[in-house]
Structure 1
C-alpha cells in the first residue's frame, strides 16, 4: 500500500487519514501548529473552558459513519452526544421571543403560532416541506458524491421549488433566500429566522440562492447536538481514532512545498529542505496556502470551480460569569439585529465593516465540565464579521456584549472577565487568510457557492476540508474526508457512498 502525506490536521484531513489508514495505507499527517482539530480549539482559564470554533454539531450521522467504518467502538462510546432542546431561542427587537423544539415539526409550528399568531407556524412548516425537496435534490451531489465534472449543471438548476406569485400581471418566484422570506413567509420575524441560518455561515441572504433553504432544513430534520465537554472532544476522539489506526502525526512541522515528479505529486518538502516521499498527497489547507505549496503550478484548470476567496469570519467573546446558570436556560439563543438591513449592508456592502448592532448567538451550554463549580457559568458569544477584522477588537466585543445583554439582563453585574477571539486567531488556527470561514456548498447561483473538486490537475494530489468540495461546516468536513479516501482507495471511478 502507498505512503500518504496529509497536510494539516483539521477535521476533514483527519477523517481522510483515519479512513485511508484502515484501507491499509501508511498515513503521515504534517501539522504546522502544535495541535489537531483546525478550528475546533479550546480556551481554558481559571477553571472555565470554552470552544473557540464551532460549538454545536449538526448531522452527527456523518461522524457516526466515520467511527463505524474505522473501528469497533462507535462514536457514542468515544464522546457523549447530547441533543439540544430547545434547538434555539430567538429574541427580536420588538420584544418577541420564542423557543423552537429540536427536530419536532409539530412543536415548531405550535411555538411559532403562539408567538407570531395563527398561520405563522403553518407558513414555516410549508416552507420546510419545500426545503426538504431542495435537500432531496442536492444531498447526493453536494454531500455524498465527488463533484460532478459537469458541475455547471448544479449551478444552473435551482432545486428549491419556490411558490409562484403574481405581481403586476407577471408571475415570479423567489430567487434568493431573502426573497423566500419576503414572498413566502410574510412576516419580518420569520424572515429573520430564515436569514439567520445563512448569516451564521457568513452568507448574505440577499444574494444567497433560494437553495440555502437546506441550511435550516438540516437542523430541523437531523437535530442539533452538543458534545459533553465541548466540540473539542469530538476533535480529540477523531485524533485518538487516527492514532489507533496507526496514523503518524508530526506537529510543529511546516510544509513549504509539494514535490512533483513526472506531473504527479511525489511527496512534501519540509522547512529544513528535506523531502518526504509519498505516493499521494492530501492537502487540507486554504486556497492561498495551497497556491504557495504548489509553487506557482496550476492546481486547478480552466473550466473548473475556482477556489472561494474573501469569505466572512467571526468574532467570538468568551464570558466568565459569577452565579449559576438559571434553570431552564436555552443552550443557544439568537439575538437578532435591531436593523437587519443595516447589519447586512455593513457586512456585505461595497466596503465591508463590522456591524454596530449585530446579530449575536449566545451559547449557554450548562455543561459542568465548562465551569469551575456550579456557582459559575461559561457563556460564548459569536457574531459574523468581515475577514481580516482586527483593529478595535475590544470595541467590537463591547458591541457584542451589549447585544447579549438583551437576553442576559444582569450580564454586566455577573461578568468576572472576558476574552476575545478575533479573525486573526482563526487565521492562526486554520491558516485561512484573514480568518475567513468557508461556507457549505450550495446549488444554483451559477455555481458561485460551489467549492473546487477534491481531485486536482496534479495526479496524486487531492484536497480536503472546508475549502474544497463539499465546503465548510462539520458535516461537510467529514464528508470531504470520506470522498478523498474513496477517490484514493477506489480510484477515479468512485461515485460516493451508497
Structure 2
C-alpha cells in the first residue's frame, strides 16, 4: 500500500483519489479552500441556488464508470440525471430560432431544415458524418490513453476528412480550421457557420485558429446528449466527494500546500503552508499550471511550465492566454414558463468583433457577446414554484475587470430571450474572472479547453506523468484537457499510471 498525497479537491483530483483508494492505497487530499469541487461551485441565497461552473453534463458515462469502479452504488443511485429536451435552442442574429433535440443527429438535421430551410439539415448531417470519422480516429488516444511519447503524431495529422474544393485554375483547397470548414462545407448559410463556431467559442477557442478536428465538439453533444443534475452540478461534486469518503479518502480543507518535496530525484511528499512535511510515495497535483510551477520552485530542473511537460522527445507546454467566463445569476419572480428550454444560446450580431476582442488585438468585453442562458426546470433551485433561477454566461478575456455597465449590457442582451426580465428581477449576483481565479487558482480565471488533435499540438495538454518521477497531474489543465468529463478521464489515467505503472496503456 502506497501513501499518496493529492493536491486540490477538484473533480479530476477526486476521481483519481477514489480510484486509488479502491486499489488499496492510503490517499490524503489537501485542499487550500474550505470545500471540494474546484470549478463546480454554487451560490445559495434566499432559497435560490446557482451553479458557478458548468451547468450541464456531457458524456455522463465517464462518471458512471467512476461510480461502478469505486463502489456498489451506481451514479444514478447517488444523483438524479435527466436528459434535457431540447438539448439547446439557438437564436441567431437574424432572429431565427432552432430547437435542437437531445442525442439525435438525425433529429438535429430535421430541426435545422425546419428552422433554416431545406438543405440546411443535409449540409449539417453530412458534416456530422465527417465529424464521426474524426471522433473514431481520435477518441482513444485523446481521451482513454495517456499522452503518447510520440505525441507529435496527434499534433501533425488532421483527423477531420475535409472536403476538397477546386477554384477555377487554383489547386484543390481543404479546410484546416473550424471556420474554414463552415465556410467551405456548410452551404454558405451564415447561421450554420455561427452554430459551428459557437462550439469552439463555448470552450474558449478561436474558431478561426482552431483545427478542423474540433468537429468532435458538436458531434459529442449530438451523439451523447446533454444532461442536467437535480440540485445542479454541485450535487455531482458532492456525490464524488462522498464516494471518496466512503472509500476512506482523507480530506484536509483550508490546508494549502507550499511546495512539493523532492528526494533522490523523485517526488517524496509535500510541505504544507504551516511548515508541516508530509511524506508520500506519489503526489497527484490537481492544480493550474502557475500553481504547480510555484510548488516546484525548489525542485532542480523544474522551473517554469516544464514541471508538467511530458517525459519524451519534445514537450507539450502548459497553455496560456485562454479566455475566462462572466456569469450573472438572476433571481426572478414569476414561474418558469411551460416549455422553456433548459439552455438557450443567443448568438452575437457581430462575430468578428467578438472574436477580435476575445482573441485579437482589441481585448475587452465584446459589444454584444454570445450569451448562454440556463433556465433549469429544477424545484430545488428556487424557493417555490413562483420563482425562477436563471444563469447568463458569456466568454470574456481572462483578467477582465467587469463593470456594472458590462453587467447591464448582458441584462439588455438577455431581454431578447427573457421578455420582461427587468420587471421580474429581484436581485442578481455576478461571478467574474477574478472569482474563477480565486476558486480554481488559474491565472486570470482562464478556463482550460479540451484537448484536440492537429494544429501543431497547440491544443494538446501536458501529460499526466511529469518529468519528476512520482509526480502526476490531474484535472482540466492536464491531458485530456478541460471540461467536466475530461477532468474525470484525467483522474482515470492518473490512477492507472500509478497502479499499473508506466506501461499502462489506457482505460478499457
User: Do they fold alike, i.e. is TM over 0.5?
Assistant: yes
* Segments ≥4 residues shifted beyond 3 Å: none
1:337 is aligned to 2:348: yes
CA distance in structure 2 between the partners assigned to 1:350 and 1:489 by the alignment? 46
1:454 is aligned to 2:456: no
CA distance in structure 1 between the partners assigned to 2:226 and 2:332 by the alignment? 25
Structure 2 residue aligned with 1:13 = 13
CA distance in structure 2 between the partners assigned to 1:341 and 1:455 by the alignment? 39
Q: Structure 1 residue 352: deviation in Å?
A: 2.0
Q: Structure 1 residue 164: deviation in Å?
A: 0.6
Q: State which of 347, 350, 358 in structure 1 corresponds to 2:369.
A: 358
Q: Structure 1 residue 296: deviation in Å?
A: 4.9
Structure 1 residue aligned with 2:142 = 142
CA distance in structure 2 between the partners assigned to 1:171 and 1:295 by the alignment? 50
Q: Deviations over 1:52-108 (max 9, x none)?
A: 100100000000000000000000000000101100001112110110010112221
Q: State which of 383, 386, 394 in structure 1 corresponds to 2:394.
A: 383
Structure 2 residue aligned with 1:37 = 37
Q: State which of 224, 228, 231 in structure 2 corresponds to 1:229.
A: 231
Structure 1 residue aligned with 2:485 = 475
CA distance in structure 2 between the partners assigned to 1:36 and 1:351 by the alignment? 36
CA distance in structure 2 between the partners assigned to 1:115 and 1:231 by the alignment? 31
Structure 1 residue aligned with 2:245 = 243
SS of 2:166's partner is: strand
1:347 is aligned to 2:358: yes
Q: Deviations over 1:447-476 (max 9, x none)?
A: 000000001111100000000100000110
CA distance in structure 1 between the partners assigned to 2:288 and 2:95 by the alignment? 41
Structure 1 residue aligned with 2:98 = 98
Which range moved further: 228-237 or 394-403?
394-403
Which range moved further: 290-299 or 317-326?
290-299
Structure 1 residue aligned with 2:212 = 210
Q: State which of 320, 323, 327 in structure 1 corresponds to 2:338.
A: 327
Structure 1 residue aligned with 2:196 = 194
Equivalent residue pairs, number: 497
The 8 Å contact of residues 371 and 394 in structure 2, kept in 1 or not, is answered as yes
1:256 is aligned to 2:258: yes
CA distance in structure 1 between the partners assigned to 2:273 and 2:418 by the alignment? 49
CA distance in structure 2 between the partners assigned to 1:317 and 1:14 by the alignment? 28
CA distance in structure 2 between the partners assigned to 1:94 and 1:280 by the alignment? 55
- TM-score if structure 2 supplies the norm length? 0.97
Q: Deviations over 1:276-306 (max 9, x none)?
A: 0000000000110000000154223672101
Q: Deviations over 1:20-46 (max 9, x none)?
A: 000000000000000000000010111
Structure 1 segment 53-452 matched on structure 2, within 5 A: 53-169=53-169, 170-185=171-186, 186-297=188-299, 298=302, 299=307, 300=309, 303-392=314-403, 394-452=404-462
Q: Structure 1 residue 325: deviation in Å?
A: 0.5
SS of 2:172's partner is: strand
SS of 2:411's partner is: helix
Q: Deviations over 1:401-449 (max 9, x none)?
A: 1111111121111111110000111011101110010000000000000
CA distance in structure 2 between the partners assigned to 1:272 and 1:381 by the alignment? 40
SS of 2:321's partner is: coil
Q: Structure 1 residue 266: deviation in Å?
A: 0.4
The 8 Å contact of residues 108 and 222 in structure 2, kept in 1 or not, is answered as no
Q: Deviations over 1:86-132 (max 9, x none)?
A: 00001112110110010112221111111111110011111111001
The 8 Å contact of residues 402 and 432 in structure 2, kept in 1 or not, is answered as no
